[in-house]
Amino acid sequence: MEQNVLLSLSHISKRFKTELALKDISMTLSKGEILGFLGPSGSGKTTTIKIITGQLRQTTGEAKLLGTDSANIDASIYEKIGVVSDNSGIYEKMTVWQNLYLFARIWKVPRGRVEQVISQVGLAEHIKKPAGKLSKGQTQRLVLARAVLHKPRVLFLDEPTSGLDPSTAVAIHRMLLDLKEEGMAIFLTTHNMEEAAKLCDKVALLHEGEIVEFGPPQEICLKYNQIKKYHVLLNSDKDLVLEQNSENIGRIARWMENDQIACIHSCEPTLETVFLEVTGKDLNI
């Protein structure tokens, strides 16, 4: 079990002058796992990735990536990780294929892998197009293709689907799940709770630099499902959300007996409602 842990953070904090951007962050990521770091803008997601990948030094605590202290990371680790933070590093005048082949040569990746990755991200039709002429979603897929070209053991994605249309986002989700199946560990940040609930084995809810909840999305949601609620739509078009108590159980039973219910379902909390409850804040702001 231990040997499968590829990344661990232990009591990490980060101070920027007067601002404490991260407070006592601890967590682990293992082989074949997708971990979601969820939090609103400014909560410390990118700062965390920068500390782990050795781009920024923490104020206190320890970060270990593939057995190396993040503070001592050298170039050799970049052969084993992939980082997608923005669209930089793509050469606009070079085609999709040329962009990837250039990196394939640097990483000593077999040529066949380039074609494989291009088709995995759905860019086969655009293989000869200069990268500067790709749409935003296509560019994002090219960046992702480049990050996974050398089959990294750990992949960092800072908001991989922000601003993408739903079908491109779904294609990227599918690809991430395939990579996970191959054993890659994926650390992703997102504002998108639905994305996190669908993809992630574990999520950390980040609020003002602190992890306020950590665990499998479903477990977190169930933990907040103490007051059960039901959504009832009556034939009369009356739309109600009722808490589970003896009075409401009686009302629902009577409506059922009289065949007055058009539709009824339970309202489990989502990560979004949990986040709102824990922090009093909406994630999308």
Strands 229-234 and 261-266: antiparallel
**In terms of CB distance, is 44 or 122 closer to Mg ion?**
44
Q: Is 161 in the site for Mg ion (CB under 5 A)?
A: no
Question: Quick one: which of 44, 122, 137, 269 contacts ligand ATP (CB under 6 A)?
Answer: 44
Spatial contact of 157 and 140, defined as CB atoms under 8 Å apart:
no
Specify the residue for token string 């770091």.
37
Calculate the alpha carbon distances from 240 to 232, 248, 268 in Å: 5, 11, 15
Query: How many Cβ atoms sit within 10 Å of the Cβ of residue 4?
Result: 13
Question: Quick one: which of 16, 79, 91, 249 contacts ligand ATP (CB under 6 A)?
Answer: 16
Q: How many residues bind ligand ATP (CB under 6 A)?
A: 11
Q: How many residues bind Mg ion (CB under 5 A)?
A: 2
Using the rule CB under 5 A, give the single segment among 40-48, 74-82, 163-171, 212-220 that binds Mg ion. 40-48
Q: Is 53 in the site for ligand ATP (CB under 6 A)?
A: no
Spatial contact of 205 and 197, defined as CB atoms under 8 Å apart:
no
Residue 21's binding partner out of Mg ion, ligand ATP, none, with CB under 5 to 8 Å set by partner kind: ligand ATP
Q: Is 46 in the site for Mg ion (CB under 5 A)?
A: yes
Q: Which two tokens stand for residue 184?
A: 């890659």
**In terms of CB distance, is 19 or 247 closer to ligand ATP?**
19
By CB atoms closer than 10 A (0-12, 13-18, 19+), residue 205 is buried
Q: Is 42 in the site for ligand ATP (CB under 6 A)?
A: yes
Separation CA 176–CA 118 (nearest Å): 14
**Residue numbers of the site for ligand ATP (CB under 6 A)?**
16, 19, 21, 39, 41-47
The residue ranges that bind Mg ion (CB under 5 A) are 45-46
